[in-house]
Amino acid sequence: MRGLLIVDIQNDFTEGGALGVTGGAQVARDVSTYLTTHGDNYDLVLASRDWHDANTDNGGHFAIGGAPNFVDKWPVHCVAGSKGAEYHPDLDTSRVDVHIKKGQGEPSYSMFEGVSDDGKTVADILDEQGITEVDVVGIATDHCVRASVIDALGAGQGVTILTDLIAAVAQDTGEKALEELVSRGATLHK
Q: Considering 12, 30, 50, 102, which one is annotated as catalytic?
A: 102
Q: Are 22 and 63 in contact (CB under 8 A)?
A: no
Pairwise CA distance, residues 89 & 138, whole Å: 14
Residue 97 CA, chain-centre distance (Å), reads: 15
End-to-end CA distance of the chain: give it in Å, rounded: 20
Q: Considering 8, 12, 50, 135, which one is annotated as catalytic?
A: 8
Closest CA relative to residue 62, chosen from 50, 71, 79, 74: 74
Q: Are 156 and 150 in contact (CB under 8 A)?
A: no
Pairwise CA distance, residues 87 & 73, whole Å: 22
Concerning whether 144 is annotated as a catalytic residue, the answer is: yes
Pairwise CA distance, residues 38 & 152, whole Å: 21
Q: Considering 50, 135, 142, 144, which one is annotated as catalytic?
A: 144
Concerning whether 8 is annotated as a catalytic residue, the answer is: yes
Sign of CA dihedral 162, 108, 154, 123: negative
DSSP lists the bridge partners of residue 5 as 46, 136
Active-site positions? 8, 102, 144
